[in-house]
Amino acid sequence: MGGNQTWITEVTLLGFQVDSALELFLFGLFCLFYTLTLLGNGVILGLICLDPRLHTPMYFFLSHLAIVDMSYASNNVPKMLANLVNLKRTISFAPCIMQTFLYLAFAHVECLILVVMSYDRFVAICHPLHYTVIMSWRICMVLAGTSWVFSFLLALVHLILILRLPFCGPHEINHFFCEILSVLKLACADTRLNQMVIFAACVFILLGPLCLVLVSYSRILLAILRIQSGEGRRKPFSTCSSHLCVVGLFFGSAIVMYMAPKSRHPEEQQKILSLFYSLFNPMLNPLIYSLQNAEVKGALRRVLYKWRHM
């Protein structure tokens, strides 16, 4: 590398390049969404902890999903909100790289937790007599722990590959947070290895899990269709349809983001799709589960009843 290069110490997040009036509107809107994300997932997590009837494997994994969603949103959204109302939109390079690492780690965790949740529903509906044996608490802890550990290790691989690169400009990221593809554009070296690892990770962490989820729910659908009574079909179909909504939103936006051919405006496309990851998905998940799930609504009524009579 040349000896007169300027090395990056901080970068500017360009964010949404709109006029000031629209920025204030977006600040209010995204602040509302972020509050609903924390409130909705916090309520789900609190209900699962407080209500003994929700101490089952399905809700154990749902509690992990709520933690991931709150963490994921909190990693990206506060800086985005600050930049919407501040003229100085810089971030030091070390926090920027940490934001990239956590963004990847939480995204990987969500992928694997959704797969584990689909497996849990598959066992519950297709092998109900063996459910308590197959999905014992020991197995649940192992599945959840493995998802977290593996996800952070995979994100660490990306981090190490990023840190081996020299970063010497430009000093601007055309995004509202330090998304990995945008960060790589700052490197003044060949990033083909990084791009290859990202694509391989997408195949492994997106396409592979998505195939497993689709196989699980195909088997579940066949099992539901064999149930004779309408009432017997309703509960598993309601639960699985909510799971599929979450899976479709998450995996669909991720695959379009990282595996689909780029459009003529890839950076603007990335910003919109990243909003699904950072804000819309985490906000919608508790709504989807609570509106479709009678057990969650029942737990909420019981908790509110207790509080009223305390």
Residue 226 confidence (pLDDT): 79
> The sheet that has 90-92: what strands, in order across it?
90-92, 10-13, 172-173
Tell me the pLDDT tens digit for each residue of 98-115: 999 999 999 999 999 999
Domain residue extents for the chain:
10-305
pLDDT class for 45, splitting at 50, 70, 90? very high
CATH number attached to the domain at 10-305: 1.20.1070.10
Residue 231 confidence (pLDDT): 63
Q: What distances in angstroms separate CA 109 from CA 52, 65, 82, 156, 276, one per listed residue?
A: 26, 8, 26, 13, 16
pLDDT at residue 3 above 50?
no
Share of the chain above pLDDT 90, in %: 34
Contact by Cβ (8 Å): 278, 73: yes
Tell me the pLDDT tens digit for each residue of 182-226: 899 888 888 899 999 998 998 888 888 889 888 888 888 888 877
Residue 5 exposure: Cα atoms within 13 Å on the Cβ side: 15
